Amino acid sequence: MLNAIDTRPNDLSTYTVSVRGKGKAEPIQQFLTRNFSSLALTQIESVFGFVERTSLYGGRIFERPQLSTADVLWLNKKGIGLRIPLTNHFADKAEYIKTTLMLKKYHNPLNSVICTNDDLALWIKAEFPHFDIEASVIKNLHNLQQIDEALEIYHTVVLPMTANDDEQLLDAITDKIRIRLFANAGCAYTCPAKICYKSISKMNKFKGGEFKCSQPIKMRDSMGMIDFDLQRLQDKGFHKFKLLRARLGNHTGY
C-alpha cells in the first residue's frame, strides 16, 4: 500500500499527507516514519490535520487536536507546511472572526488552508495573504467549467478520486500545476452520495447533529485502499498528490 508509492530520484512530485489517527502526544516525526516511510521528507510538501478547536473544520469529525504547536514548528523547520482543513460547508463572518487568532498563529508562506465554502476562502485570502488557499475535494469539481471557476478563487484545487479515471478531463486541463490529485483512494472513491460531509459539517459546530453515511442507502463493495498509477498521472503533467493514511484493515472508511 503506502510503501508502493514510487519515489524515483528524478520524480518531481510532492505529497500532502494525512495525520488522521495521530494523537497529539505522538511527535510528528515519529508518525511520519511509522506511516509514510517510503517518502523522503523532501517529497512531503505539507501535512494536513486538526490543530486548535474551531467550528470551521469539515471532512472528519473533530474530537481533539492532531498536531501540536511543537509538531508544526518541527514541520516548518524542515520546510514542510501545515494545511488547516477548514472545509466546513457552512461558515458565517462571526465564526470566521473567532478563528482569526488561530489563523494569525500559523500565517506564514509555508502553511495553507483548505476550504469548501467560497466566502470563507475569500475572507481568509483577503486578510491572510501568505496562506495558499486550496479548494477541498469536498467541492466535488468534476468538469472544466467548475475547475476554472474555482481557480479564480483558489490557488490550487483538489479533484475527486474518480477524476483520476477521467482521461478526457485530465487531458483537457491546461493549468496542471494548480491541480492536486489523489495518490490513493478510500471509501469516497466508490461512494454513491457523499452525504457524510454535510453531516460532519453540522456536527463540527458543536451543537449536536448526527453522522450520516450513504453506505446503508446503497451497499457497495468494500474495496479498501487503492493505489493509483502515479506514473500515468505524472506523464500527463500532474505532480501534486494527496496521500491518505490507511486505517486498520487497509481502509479509510467503509
Report yes or no on 248 lying in a domain. Answer: no
Task: Quote the number of domains for the chain.
Answer: 1
Question: What pLDDT score was predicted for residue 166?
Answer: 97
Report yes or no on 215 lying in a domain. Answer: no
Question: What pLDDT score was predicted for residue 69?
Answer: 96
* Cα(17)–Cα(218) distance, integer angstroms: 30
Report yes or no on 216 lying in a domain. Answer: no
Question: What pLDDT score was predicted for residue 8?
Answer: 46
CATH number, domain with residue 39? 3.20.20
Report yes or no on 252 lying in a domain. Answer: no
Q: Are 8 and 36 in contact (CB under 8 A)?
A: no
Q: What is the DSSP string of 18-30?
A: E-TT--TTS-HHH
Residues 200-210: tens digit of each pLDDT: 899 889 888 88
Structural domain that includes position 135: 2-187+225-243
Report yes or no on 84 lying in a domain. Answer: yes
Question: What pLDDT score was predicted for residue 1?
Answer: 28
Question: Largest Cα–Cα distance of the chain, in whole Å?
Answer: 49
Report yes or no on 214 lying in a domain. Answer: no
Cell numbers placing 253: 472508511
Q: Are 150 and 141 in contact (CB under 8 A)?
A: yes
Question: What pLDDT score was predicted for residue 3?
Answer: 33
Question: What pLDDT score was predicted for residue 246?
Answer: 63
Report yes or no on 251 lying in a domain. Answer: no
Q: Which residues of the chain have pLDDT under 70?
A: 1-11, 216-224, 246-254
Question: What pLDDT score was predicted for residue 25?
Answer: 87
* Cα(54)–Cα(157) distance, integer angstroms: 23
Among candidates 119, 112, 94, which has minimal Cα distance to 49?
A: 112
Q: Are 35 and 1 in contact (CB under 8 A)?
A: no
Question: What pLDDT score was predicted for residue 2?
Answer: 33
Report yes or no on 58 lying in a domain. Answer: yes
Helix (H) or strand (E) segment spanning residue 166: none
Question: What pLDDT score was predicted for residue 212?
Answer: 84
